[in-house]
Amino acid sequence: MKKLLLALAVLAAVPVFSQPSPASTKLQALLYQIEHMYVDSVDDNKLVNSAIVSMLADLDPHSVYIPKEDLEEVNEPLKGNFEGVGIQFNIVRDTIYVVDAIASGPSERVGIRAGDRVVKVDSETVAGTGVKNADVIKLLRGPKGTKVNVSIVRQGEKAPLDFTITRDKIPIYSVEAAYMAAPGVGYIKVSRFGATTTKEFSDKLDMLKKQGMKDLVLDLQGNGGGYLRAAQEMADQFLDDRKLIVYTEGRTSPREDLYASSTGKFEKGRLVVMVDEGSASASEIVTGAMQDWDRAVVVGRRSFGKGLVQRPVMLPDGSAVRLTVARYYTPSGRCIQKSYADGLDAYRHEGMDRLRDGELTSADSIHIQDTVKYYTNNKRIVYGGGGIVPDVFVPIDTSLSSAWFGQLVRKGITNTAAINYVDKHRAEIQRQYKDVDAFRKNFTVAPDLTNAMEKLAEEAKIEPDSAGMARSQRLVDLRLKALIARDVWNTSAYWQVINADNPVDLSYEEALRVITDDELQRTKLAER
């Protein structure tokens, strides 16, 4: 009863634009009585916020409340930019270590570079003071046009270097990697669907075409979604004019059909889309459209299963609600939203259930909630009600994982070890390896790097585990190598190394096999 009363109370916190319902009138009366009669003083804001959270939890897993103070941070990754100095950093041995100065950003423009250590910000010492990530963000971010002074310690320089940085808009990229994976085959990894995704993706298509790309592997693994419009615009790059991409429909939201235009940059050429259990929402819109039109071969594991559309609703105090207003449907008519009838906890733990039940290691264990048959353009049978089931299943190998490896990653040990190594060997690596591909083929993790990492693990009080170390050594070495590549070159280099030698997930390897398989052309799953 209490939960219900609290949940309903939210109606009294928003403006009434029509005749109040009996329920809202009742609630306003209750809030009045609480305010004037309750035995103790009451924090109205806390009461109402709790009510909103409780009420939304009874609706669906994706209708959520966002407090005013969190709104900007939540929206930032999708906006595509923020205002600040433009560095990627890590805290290493209680010091701010510059991993990268964002290209053409304010820090790069004044001469700050990877490997620099920030020791002062506006005359305030930040080295050796227990500074946290949140502290760094607070110090370095700020409105465009404002200035911040920093002191840098740089290897090879006897004294600190002083810089004045004028803050600017800093892009948040959604395309993490783009490179030629094989002769004639391009690879693009998209991590989210934000405000800048369409332009980023279009630019990468142009870049790869100039390098001879005829076919494309589109990696949406781990992509949790974002803006519907960005998904529509990406799908439009691959489909002919007036082909249906997706439609949305809700109780009070009439059906809206979204179609491809005539301006796609990659309407011809073989296409493979990689997905996994972390691919959701906008990722599933793109993948579902490609599968339903038989435009691409889908490789990997069943996607997350989020087929609900949210609309932001601003509240009077500056907070907001992302309210589910419709479901989206693929061109064949399937809704791929998985069930949430068993409650939020079951919904959130469904991924772990998939692993426990063997679905991530065996295609035979895939469970589809909706048994209704839908048909692709070429009359292949597909199903809805629980994500996109790939055309080519790729299991994960769990035998190399260990608790020890998990601790190394969670506590940033591999990252710190890689940063320390690059700090000492950057120039040597750049001289020895002309590009990322040469580095990937020829660099090996030497014992001194492994020993340094294990020493860091010991300092972080991670208990040695000989069995775990032996089991996960390939994963450790691969991660160290990929992080070194990222620190020397860029994020694209990281994925180039990971993809080529990943022992846990062979989706990338399978995608390259599939895209060159002429059998696919005969089955009309992928055509040039």
Q: Hey, which residues are catalytic here? A: 281, 292, 306
As given in the structure block, the two tokens for residue 138 are 């607070």
Strand partners, 168: 84
CA 38, CA 448: separation in Å to the nearest integer? 67
- Whether 427 contacts 115, CB under 8 Å: no
Distance in Å from the first CA to the final CA of the chain: 62
- Cα distances from 157 to residues 18, 106, 117, 420, in angstroms, run 69, 22, 12, 17
CA dihedral sign of residues 172, 174, 176, 177: negative
Nearest to 94 by CA among 153, 33, 9: 153
Tell me the helices (H) and strands (E) count for the chain, helix number first. Answer: 19, 21
How many residues are there in the chain? 528
| Chain centroid, CA 482 distance in Å | 18
Phi then psi dihedrals of residue 125, to 5 deg: -65, 130
CA 95, CA 118: separation in Å to the nearest integer? 7
Phi then psi dihedrals of residue 339, to 5 deg: -70, 145
Nearest to 246 by CA among 358, 187, 330, 148: 330
CA 509, CA 106: separation in Å to the nearest integer? 39
Strand partners, 82: 170
DSSP string, 361-404: T-GGG---S----EE-TT--EE--SSSPPPSEE--B--TT--HH
- Whether 205 contacts 220, CB under 8 Å: no
